Structure 1
Amino acid sequence: MTPRSVRPARRMRERFRLGGVSPAALGVVVLWVSVLVALPIAALVATSLTGGPRGFLAAVSRPSALNTLVLTLALAAGVSLLNAVAGTVIAWVLVRDDFRGKQVIDALIDLPFALPTIVASIVLLSLYGPESPIGVHLSGTRAGVVLALAFVTLPFVVRAVQPVMRELDTDAEEAAASLGAPGWTIFRQIVWPVLLPAVASGTGLSFARAIGEFGSVVLIGGNLPGRTQIASQYIQQLIEVGDPASAAAVSVVLLVVSFVVLTTLRGVSSRMQQREEAS
């Protein structure tokens, strides 16, 4: 017969094997993720295969689909790289510098998270449309699409880099500066290796958001096939003409690309963090 004093210890060991998570909590997580993520994705894949593998390949290999996918991925990649640079600089200024209005700018960074994206498109069209009060006309241009995508994706890099910069120890930077190292060398050799995993993670999230964005570009972009029509608008067009299978097929391609990019960047970020901690 097991002594009473041993039973709590055994229960604690069993919970430790589960990582300190009770089976009930784990079940809730699995159920919630299945309902919100797994089942919708499974339904999307099933819809995309309504016409079989040949129908799927035919849908994603149409010239219109290929042109839209290439344009979407190219614009998303460009915006992500732009955010990687601008977001890192903004995070640096917000953490390292003190200036009047800093809290206002810090709050404005999160505005795209709270603002409906269609409102962003209206604002951009009012500012850069045919009746632009500043004389800059970007409506129906790729530059306008890039601006809209940059607006909604900028916070990802800034918010990923800021916490890392706050925890960054400045002793090594000060020591290097006292030895005469120039500022760029200090940043490249000491600061950048620490920031790189966060920058990569934020860039990946920015890319994933950009390839699926719709609301912010719906007005400023103009939805011009081959010029400014991105994948989300093409998918809407397929649904409107009664071709949900093709719309689902293009959506699956975007989903796979996002998953591969995010998984790759997170893996790279994890390895870089481990290497940095080991050193």
Structure 2
Amino acid sequence: MTVLSLPKRSPSVLPGFGLTMGLTLTWLSLIILIPLAGVFIKSAGLGWDAFLALATDARTVAALKLSFGAALIAAAINAVFGLLVAWVLVRYDFPGRRIVDAAIDLPFALPTAVAGLALTALYAPNGWIGSLIEPLGLKIAYSSAGVVIALVFIGLPFVVRTVQPVLADFDKELEEAAATLGATRFQTISRIVFPALMPPLLTGFALAFARGVGEYGSIIFIAGNIPYRSEIAPLLIVIRLEEFNYAGATAIAALMLVISFALLLVINLLQAWNRRRIGLAG
């Protein structure tokens, strides 16, 4: 008589799936889902007509355009220069490399208000950099350009820290094989290295964008906070709260949530498409 032996399961460090999944959903609900649901429920108290009027208000639209537009521009700038910084830190050995590598994390540790004050002191008309570019007709502080500069400052580490480990683990033998087969340096970078870096680069872009949309402390000092020109959506939410217009504040927050979710969904779809394309190419 033969005895059927069931395949052995490797012991898990954590308890069973049911318990861990229940704890995961409970924690996710308490930290993220319930607060976000509260935002939509509170904004629903306005009624559809009042919500639509607030969503199409010129001041609200201008603030949302500045917040999301500046965050997209800053994330795109960080994607380019963050990739360059990560490449230099990984591929080259130079004096002071560790200092430069440690300085990348300064925006993580530095309070955002301190960053805003420092940037304002630099780019104000009487600042070190502002005094040099002001005669040229260029104005950064107290304008939308200042918002972009602040978001570039706080978003750069996200791109560098997501691309850097992938680039460090990249097999250089693939580049050597491509060179042996007659590929130029540009072909090697564009067809071998860059496709492997696209997923972390998109992840860093998404993280920098998400951080930029909700940024407040480093912007309010350098932006000038002029309605319709340099007023960001988080500041408009604070203004509505100071006016005790809680429904209006949550309505703006709900609009930001919907737009952020839609843009992050597009970025995730691009990541999935890039993974499928790499899989088919491989």
What TM-score, normalized by structure 2, do the two folds share?
Answer: 0.87
Indicate the SS of the match to 2:127: coil
Corresponding position of 1:37: 32
Q: Which amino acid aligns with 1:209?
A: R
CA contact (8 A) 2:39 2:250 kept: yes
| Structure 1 Cα separation of the partners of residues 202 and 243 of structure 2 | 39
Instruction: Note the residue ranges of structure 1 that are not aligned, 5 or more in a row.
Output: 1-5
Superposition deviation, residue 126 in structure 1: 1.8
Q: Which amino acid aligns with 2:77?
A: L
- Per-residue CA distance 1:187-212 (angstroms, 9 max, x = gap): 11111111111111111121111111
CA contact (8 A) 1:48 1:249 kept: yes
Corresponding position of 1:140: 142
Corresponding position of 1:197: 199
Superposition deviation, residue 139 in structure 1: 2.1
Corresponding position of 1:58: 53
- Per-residue CA distance 1:23-60 (angstroms, 9 max, x = gap): 22222211111111011101111111111122211111
Pick from 16, 19, 42 the counterpart of residue 47 of structure 1: 42
Q: Which amino acid aligns with 1:169?
A: D
Indicate the SS of the match to 2:221: coil
Superposition deviation, residue 172 in structure 1: 2.2
CA contact (8 A) 2:240 2:246 kept: yes
Superposition deviation, residue 131 in structure 1: 3.2
Is 240-249 or 216-225 further displaced after alignment? 240-249
**Percent of residue pairs identical:** 38
Pairs within 5 Å for 1:219-258: 219-258=221-260
Corresponding position of 1:22: 17
Indicate the SS of the match to 1:32: helix
Q: Which amino acid aligns with 1:75?
A: A
Superposition deviation, residue 219 in structure 1: 0.5
Q: Which amino acid aligns with 2:34?
A: L
Indicate the SS of the match to 2:39: helix
| Structure 1 Cα separation of the partners of residues 94 and 214 of structure 2 | 36
Corresponding position of 1:88: 83
| Structure 1 Cα separation of the partners of residues 271 and 241 of structure 2 | 38
Q: Which amino acid aligns with 1:270?
A: A
| Structure 1 Cα separation of the partners of residues 103 and 167 of structure 2 | 19
Pairs within 5 Å for 1:112-127: 112-127=107-122
Superposition deviation, residue 144 in structure 1: 1.4
Corresponding position of 1:158: 160
| Structure 2 Cα separation of the partners of residues 130 and 62 of structure 1 | 32
Q: Which amino acid aligns with 1:163?
A: P
RMSD after superposition: 2.5
Superposition deviation, residue 12 in structure 1: 5.3
Corresponding position of 1:168: 170
Corresponding position of 1:3: none
CA contact (8 A) 1:198 1:269 kept: no
- Per-residue CA distance 1:3-36 (angstroms, 9 max, x = gap): xxx9xx79959x99xx985322222211111111
Instruction: Pick closer, same or farther for the CA change 1:21–1:132 going to 2, 3 Å.
Output: farther
How many residues in Structure 1 have an aligned counterpart in Structure 2? 270
Superposition deviation, residue 221 in structure 1: 0.8
* 1:70 maps onto 2:90 in alignment: no
Instruction: Note the residue ranges of structure 2 that are not aligned, 5 or more in a row.
Output: 135-139
CA contact (8 A) 1:49 1:55 kept: no
| Structure 1 Cα separation of the partners of residues 199 and 17 of structure 2 | 31
Instruction: Pick closer, same or farther for the CA change 1:240–1:194 going to 2, 3 Å.
Output: same
Pick from 168, 180, 183 the counterpart of residue 181 of structure 1: 183
